[in-house]
Amino acid sequence: MIYPKRTRTRDLFELNGIWDFARELQPGGFADGFVPEKQVAVPSSFNDLFTEEEFRMWHKGVWYQRRFDMPKMLKGERIVLRFNSVSYRGEVFLNGTRLGDHETGYTPFEFDITDVVGFDKENLLCVRVENLLSTDTVPMGNLNNKPEPGQFAGQYPDTPFDFFPYSGIQRPVMVYTTSKKGWLESVVVATSNDGTVNVSGKIGGGAEKAVLSCDGVRVEALVVDGAFATSFKIEGARLWDVWEPNLYHVAIQLVAGGELLDEYTQRFGVREVKVEGNRILLNGKPVYFQGFGRHEDFPIIGKGLNHSVNIRDHELLKWINANSYRTTHYPYSEELIQLCDEQGILIISEAPAVSINFEFVTERTLAAHLKVLAELVERDRNYPSVVMWSVANEATTNRPESIPYFKALSELVRAMDSTRPVTMITCKAEHDLVMEFFDVVGVNLYPGWYHLPGQVEEAKKDLRHTLEKMYAKFQKPIMVTEFGADTIAGLHALPAEQWSEEYQTELILGMIEVMRDLDYVVGEHIWNFADFRTAQNFVRVGGNKKGAFTRDRQPKMVCHFLKKLWAQPRYP
């Protein structure tokens, strides 16, 4: 599956805007249309748009509908309907015909609607959305408020993770066209630092050959059994690097009998990522990750795609001299990853598998996890900014049942992509049982907050002791992928106390001091980039306040110290 774009052989338009909305108050389908309760914005999460509690907390079925016309000049083309994200499940009907469904929320899916869409009448598109999480879903939910001790029991809604379970059509809805005779279905680009570029693709319909052009180089490849593969070399290739986003474009044309069937341009970067000893190497040079865990979260729109927020966030990352972030705890929008490509920001791309608890795991949990992980790798593998895969966050990996589960996940990723390291983010420190399957150890540690509260010097000793034990056991580079403290913007205290800006600053800088004294620590990702909404819980005052920035993207005190610290490279 490739990201839709308009070319000489493809058209594209979006169905974003105002849709009709209704809750499914009783069993029965609305596939043929319904009387709306509300109007809703697409893309956005629906939860915070309305004033009624019953709408905000509704996680059973809701229905979206809108009508649209198809231009007659597109008649005769292959027509495809694409959803970039529907959380958690989406079931789609067009003109009363069921097209299919998709689950796991954060990856795209599409349907060929050529034989269903009408050109002489208005089309009715209805989408059933459901956000009912369970032991079988990724992430899990509704565990009867019995998560592992230390996780967030008693939350409303019942989630074992610390962010709000927003729902809806949260990313763009698109209609695009191709020729019926032949079209490019997928493409994979892999590069080496000597400028070698390997390109393979899958073809729908029929085509005799693929003609590729890039940077003055032109090659042809025969299509065999619906696929092609070829390679070429870019002499003197400019490498993609941190804050040096050198990008290339390969134009792919599918031809049959001298006729151009399809044309698509795939963007890519020439760069290599590998792990050697205690270092992560980007283009043969060690790279130290300094940045944040984040959330797609903003007032009113929830997790809905907003280009203005994305631009602001990246401007703040550049201002504070961060070079990276992790897509905690789910795949972020493809548009945001594309922006990272264009700006030279490093990304750890993470599956939506947070707080997998092996007291509740079923065979269906693993199946859903493998499915969405494969969809994530397929979606993001051509983006040079994605330099590492993360298969999960904070699972109960101190239990023996986790071993075959995570072995299967690591094997899937490595079979699909051998060009990037793979990690798993643990909260079990040296008690983790699955790190043998991964290249980099990711660990979330909160001394000075969840334990040793208010005791920065003791927290530093605890952090050092834990990291030393982990390295002794795993003998792999370690990234501290979460650490920090909840902070109320404007609250001050001397001496520093929990929740004050002084305490957040003192704790974070103290943690970094320890990390940078240990040669095998290769990154520091503060939790969190910005304050974000969570389920209601007595430990959360209007959400999680561990952000270095407020939810509306203004800096707390710690940002000014980080800006100065991160201006100096960790590795000369």
**Beta-bridge mates of residue 124:** 67
Identify the helix (H) or strand (E) that includes residue 370: helix 363-380
Q: Which CATH architecture has domain 12-178?
A: Sandwich (2.60)
* 394 given a catalytic annotation: yes
SS3 of 530, please?
strand
Q: Rounded distance, CA 548 to CA 543, Å? A: 14
Q: For residue 215, which amino acid is it?
A: D
Q: Rounded distance, CA 370 to CA 525, Å? A: 26
Domain 273-566, what fold? Answer: TIM Barrel (3.20.20)
Cβ(549)–Cβ(313) under 8 Å?
Answer: no
Give the pair of three-digit tokens for residue 540: 């959360």
Q: Rounded distance, CA 276 to CA 493, Å? A: 44
Question: What is the sign, positive or negative, of the torsion defined by CA atoms of 478, 320, 382, 12?
Answer: positive
**Residues with Cβ within 8 Å of residue 308, at least 6 apart in sequence:** none
Cβ(322)–Cβ(566) under 8 Å?
Answer: yes
Q: Rounded distance, CA 344 to CA 531, Å? A: 24
Give the pair of three-digit tokens for residue 207: 């085509």
Q: Which of 148, 375, 482, 524 is catalytic?
A: 482
Tell me, letter by letter, the H, E, C secondary structure of 173-203.
Answer: EEEEEECCCEEEEEEEEEECCCCEEEEEEEE
Cβ(59)–Cβ(145) under 8 Å?
Answer: no
What count of Cα atoms within 13 Å lies in the side-chain half-sphere of residue 90? Answer: 29
Q: Which of 77, 296, 394, 506 is catalytic?
A: 394
Q: pLDDT per position in the chain (572 positions), as tens?
A: 899 999 999 999 999 999 999 999 887 778 889 999 999 999 999 999 999 999 999 989 999 999 999 999 999 999 999 999 999 999 999 999 999 999 999 999 999 999 999 999 999 999 999 999 999 999 999 988 665 655 566 788 888 899 999 999 999 999 999 999 999 999 999 999 999 999 999 999 989 999 999 999 999 999 999 999 999 999 999 999 999 999 999 999 999 999 999 999 999 999 999 999 999 999 999 999 999 999 999 999 999 999 999 999 999 999 999 999 999 999 999 999 999 999 999 999 999 999 999 999 999 999 999 999 999 999 999 999 999 999 999 999 999 999 999 999 999 999 999 999 999 999 999 999 999 999 999 999 999 999 999 999 999 999 999 999 999 999 999 999 999 999 999 999 999 999 999 999 999 999 999 999 999 999 999 999 999 999 988 888 899 999 999 999 999 999 999 999 999 989 87
Residue ranges per structural domain of the chain: 12-178, 273-566
